């Protein structure tokens, strides 16, 4: 069921509850919902626009980009702000707007160690630092580029 507000039947105010996110298409984005979307919203109509503020939270399962293990991730949006022109409509569907905010809250490269609750089995080496005057590999690469002496054509 989408998040619809019928302005003539339900006056703007406060809404709290849970919403099924099956219609949000989160599995296509790599996030498997592990429960309903919990919301606490406050709405107001002013000058022909609906203003919504509130809090959203949703628990999803993501796959780590490093070790490929699945892990739970909590999406928490505590500053949801929506401004919707009414244009004489009786109802407003918040589903696409809320879906967009949830998708933007997902990490681009999910790692199981991002929440610091567990450590990832895969670690990547960091750049080696020069020790005792030795040059690192990246330093020699820059020196080689400087020697190219590329001239600009006029």
Neighbours of 134 (CB within 10 A): 9
In the chain, what's the furthest Cα-to-Cα distance? 75
45-54, 67-76, 101-110: which range is least confident on average?
45-54
Quick one: CA dihedral 23, 78, 42, 45, positive or negative?
Answer: negative
**Cα 48 from Cα 112, distance rounded (Å):** 45
Cross-strand pairs, 33: 60
Provide the pLDDT confidence category of residue 1 given band limits of 50, 70 and 90.
very low
pTM, to two decimals: 0.71
Tell me phi and psi for residue 100, to 5 degrees.
-60, -45
Confirm if 61 and 72 have CB atoms less than 8 A apart: yes
């Amino acid at each position: 069921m989408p998040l619809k507000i019928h302005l003539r039947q339900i006056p703007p105010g406060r809404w709290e509850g849970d919403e099924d996110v099956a219609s949000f298409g989160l599995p296509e984005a790599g996030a498997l919902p592990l429960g309903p979307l919990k919301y606490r919203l406050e709405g107001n109509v002013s000058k022909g626009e609906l203003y919504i503020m509130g809090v959203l939270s949703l628990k999803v399962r993501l796959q780590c980009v490093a070790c490929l293990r699945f892990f739970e991730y909590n999406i928490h949006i505590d500053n949801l702000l929506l401004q919707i022109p009414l244009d004489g409509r009786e109802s407003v569907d918040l589903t696409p707007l809320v879906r967009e905010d949830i998708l933007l809250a997902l990490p681009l490269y999910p790692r199981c160690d991002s929440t610091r609750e567990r450590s990832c089995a895969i670690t990547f080496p960091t750049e080696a630092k020069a020790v005792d005057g030795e040059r690192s590999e990246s330093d020699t690469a820059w020196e080689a580029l400087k020697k190219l002496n590329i001239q600009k054509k006029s």
